[in-house]
């Protein structure tokens, strides 16, 4: 078996971000997998979460927030590079894992047992995993995905990698990346990690939207609400994932980041953290209200978005004034 880290799915302990007590158990597939990969490698992923402060309403969805490669390089001395496939997918994965490089690859959750109850054997959904170990001969793989570290084997392994041949001749290869240490850099630890994280924060705050995105989002949600009431539950889930869940989960991570800075001794007012936490928890409630509005064909009360806007303005004004 080719393996990067000596980890066992049966005993692996997920990061606290994926532990009990969180408002959003999962964020999005890419951010979740990087959190667990960095954690599995012995790093503190929270130090790189400054990017969560910068999301915006991007026309028809909120920013699909992802770790910035430059931040990962600066803090953990790890490079993330695209892999150009020309061999069967499983062979590429095996070769890079054998070279000590975890592979980030989009796979079909229909064949990933850790998604039981949501997508496994129910729905074909692409999702990013980080492969830590793979054995082509035995047909098995250990991988980071969503909230933890998992194993797949047998027919599911054969199906997820299409080892018996492509499902159809026009099937396109997935997007693939690999992670490798920078040869002339060292990961930051202790006080140096905190200082490095503050430098990343200053850089990321330049990306904060100049106008609060909750005003445009309120107008969009109001315009979409009538149409949503004519759609089925699948459309609601897709819409909610691209909007409410994206910014709700993201701002919970942002609050976690600010809490980490406070815990490291950075003199920071708790007001921005509390405002972002409030946005996250209120959005969870708004998600349920939107679902009920669709089912009952009733107008959705959007007054809470005005309060979210006030919280966002106050939090970003203070952070930009302090650090940017």
> Could you tell me where the beta strands, DSSP code E, fall in the chain?
2-3, 57-58, 61-62, 78-82, 103-108, 126-135, 140-145, 148-153, 176-181
Quote the CA–CA distance of 112 and 114 in Å, as a whole number. Answer: 6
Residue range 220-276, pLDDT digits in tens = 998 888 888 888 888 888 999 999 999 999 999 999 999 999 999 999 999 999 999
In this model, does residue 215 exceed pLDDT 90?
yes
pLDDT on residue 53: 98
pTM of the full predicted structure? 0.93
Sorted by sequence, the CB contacts under 8 Å of residue 121 that are 6+ apart come out as: 110
| 109, two tokens | 């959750």
pLDDT on residue 165: 74
Q: Are 299 and 221 in contact (CB under 8 A)?
A: no
Q: Residue 35 — pLDDT band, cuts 50, 70, 90?
A: very high
Residue range 91-147, pLDDT digits in tens = 999 999 999 999 999 999 999 999 998 899 999 999 999 999 999 999 999 999 999
């Amino acid at each position: 078996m080719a393996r990067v880290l000596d980890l066992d799915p049966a005993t692996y302990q997920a990061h606290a971000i994926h532990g009990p007590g969180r408002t959003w158990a999962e964020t999005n597939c890419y951010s979740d997998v990087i959190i667990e990969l960095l954690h599995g490698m012995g790093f503190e992923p929270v130090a790189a979460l400054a990017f969560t402060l910068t999301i915006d309403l991007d026309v028809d969805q909120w920013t699909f927030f992802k770790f910035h490669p430059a931040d990962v390089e600066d803090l953990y001395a790890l490079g993330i590079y695209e892999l150009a496939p020309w061999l069967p997918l499983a062979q590429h994965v095996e070769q890079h894992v054998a070279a000590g490089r975890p592979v980030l690859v989009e796979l079909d959750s229909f064949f990933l047992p850790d998604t039981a109850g949501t997508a496994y054997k129910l729905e074909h959904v692409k999702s990013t995993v980080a492969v830590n170990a793979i054995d082509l001969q035995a047909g098995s793989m250990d991988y980071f995905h969503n909230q933890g570290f998992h194993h797949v084997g047998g027919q599911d392994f054969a199906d997820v990698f299409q080892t018996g041949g492509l499902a159809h001749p026009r099937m396109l290869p997935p997007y693939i990346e690999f992670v490798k240490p920078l040869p002339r850099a060292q990961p930051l630890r202790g006080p140096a990690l905190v200082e490095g994280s503050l430098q990343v924060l200053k850089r990321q705050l330049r990306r904060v939207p100049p106008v609060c995105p909750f005003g445009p989002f309120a107008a969009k949600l109001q315009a979409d609400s009538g149409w949503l009431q004519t759609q089925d539950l699948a459309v609601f889930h897709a819409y909610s994932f691209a909007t409410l869940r994206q910014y709700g989960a993201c701002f919970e991570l942002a609050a976690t980041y600010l809490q980490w800075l406070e815990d490291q001794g950075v003199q920071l007012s708790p007001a921005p953290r509390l405002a972002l936490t409030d946005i996250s928890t209120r959005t969870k409630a708004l998600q349920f209200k939107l679902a009920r509005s669709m089912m009952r064909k009733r107008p959705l009360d959007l007054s809470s978005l005005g309060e979210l806007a006030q919280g966002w303005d106050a939090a970003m004004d203070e952070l930009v004034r302090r650090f940017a």
